[in-house]
Amino acid sequence: MRRRPLAAALLAAAVLLTACESGSDSGPDDRGNPRSPRSAGPREETRRDGAELLHRPGGRASAQNPAFSPDGSSLLFTVFHDGYNAGAAALRTLPLGGARRQAAPRTLLDESDRAAVNLPGTSWNPSAGVTFASDRAGRDEVWVLRPGGRPERVTEHDGDTGYLEPSFSPDGRWIAFQESKESQKSTEREDGSGGDGSLWKVRRDGTGRTRLVDGPGTHTDNRQPNWSPAGDRLVFQRRRQGSDEWRLYVMDADGGGLRELPVQGDGEHTDPSWSPDGKWVVFSSTAGGLELPQIFAVPVTGGRPVRVTRHDSSYDGAPSWSPDGKWIAFESHPGGEDRPSALWRVPAPRG
């Protein structure tokens, strides 16, 4: 996903964006409310692989898609109210303090019976705000929420497709996103071939919409584009029609220079985003014959992946690298079924 001015500007953007959130913590009488942002259960929890629990929502709610603020002081994430990828969804932010015990999350956008979903990685830009996909206008479109402002619509289109998984370029002028048929957003075809998602970019003001990858024309399914920190490349996941094997790809920001990012070892590779120095890609994978995906990192030139999380009984996915390079945040839930997820972080590998 995407990317960096001076520290003071980053902090100001984070503060301004936080100011537009529906600030106060929930009271004790709404712990059973699935829309309450309060965490459930113990806060101080670690795993044997060194991962630390950041936030576990209560009830059926599922916390997903963590994305660091530009200054690293908080996390943007999506909470699905009715389970993993299920039902209406809200955008929330989680302040990250120095102590392990974190503050309660704050609601950024929560509209009844609508889904607002961010992409893990660089969906929070210091000058342009937060970008997300939402069906608040009837179909999935790309939106932005500027610091201190209200949601602004970026795209408007006809047909049976949805615009999803948007991410900002580092300068905040462009947004990359995927186009998928509405029926393919979260389901597979009966023949196992998946969808045929295309990748686009558009200016922040809605002009200059340009297709970068033609999914139907290339018989491929392309998803989750993330900008490099330098703004010159995009990383994304791709599979060919008739295959259920996801691979990582990199291309230039104009759609040229397409190449597979070679990851040694068998497995499915998904959810890619960049390290802050642009030298590594972090992703979720079953590399090495794992039954459940774990978090890995690989040099952008390819090679043998470095395993980051080691908790074989849990699904670990949707990773994001912190701006200071020290942490990787991710979503996780026990077992292989689509159960509600919690947010965790783990120390990043040292390059």
Handedness of CA 26, 30, 34, 39 (dihedral sign): positive
What confidence score (pLDDT) does residue 61 get? 96
pLDDT for residue 190 is more than 70: no
Q: What is the distance between the alpha carbons of residues 63 and 235, in angstroms, rounded to a whole number?
A: 24
Whole-angstrom distance, CA of residue 247 vs CA of residue 260: 7
Indicate if the alpha-carbon torsion angle 236, 242, 245, 247 is positive or negative. negative
Q: Is the dihedral of CA 7, 233, 293, 215 positive or negative?
A: positive
Confidence tier at 103 by pLDDT (50, 70, 90): confident
pLDDT of residue 102: 64
Strand order in the sheet with 74-80: 62-68, 74-80, 89-95, 106-109
Q: Is the pLDDT of residue 206 over 80?
A: yes
Q: Left, alpha or beta for 319 (phi > 0: left; psi -120 to 50: alpha)? A: beta
Work out the angle at residue 122's Cα, subtended by the Cα atoms of residues 166 and 269, and round it to the nearest 5 degrees.
Answer: 80
| Segment 174-181 mean pLDDT | 96
Question: What's the pLDDT score for residue 41?
Answer: 43
Mean pLDDT of the 35-55 span: 75
Tell me what the mean pLDDT of segment 26-53 comes to: 62
Cα torsion angle, 292, 295, 300, 303, sign: negative
DSSP 229-253: TTSSEEEEEEEETT----EEEEEET
Angle CA 18–21–26, to nearest 5: 115
State both tokens at 50.
């060194």
pLDDT confidence tier of residue 7, bands split at 50, 70 and 90? very low
* DSSP β-bridge partners for residue 320: 329
Q: How many CA atoms lie within 13 A of 326 on its CB side?
A: 4
Region label for 64, one of left (φ > 0), alpha (ψ between -120 and 50) or beta (otherwise): beta
CA angle at 289 for the pair 288 and 293, rounded to the nearest 5°: 90
HEC states along 27-63? Answer: CHHHCCCCCCCCECCCCCCECCCCCEEEECECCCCEE
Render pLDDT for 225-255 as a digit per residue (tens, 0 to 9): 999 999 999 999 999 988 889 999 999 999 9
Distance CA 68, CA 66 (A): 7
Q: Which residues 6+ apart lie within 8 Å of 14 measured at CB? A: 69, 70, 71, 73, 74, 126
Residue 337 CB coordination number (10 Å): 8
Q: 274 Cβ partners below 8 Å, 6+ apart? A: 1, 3, 121, 122, 226, 227, 228, 229, 235, 280, 281, 282, 300, 321
User: Which candidate, 127, 120, 10, places its Cα nearest to that of 71?
Assistant: 10
Q: Considering only residues 7 and 279, tell me which one the structure prediction assigns the higher pLDDT.
A: 279
* Rounded Cα–Cα distance for residues 96 and 106 (Å): 12
Question: Which comes out higher in pLDDT, residue 171 or 27?
Answer: 171
162 exposure class (CB count in 10 Å sphere: 0-12, 13-18, 19+) = buried
Residue with tokens 């390819």: 302
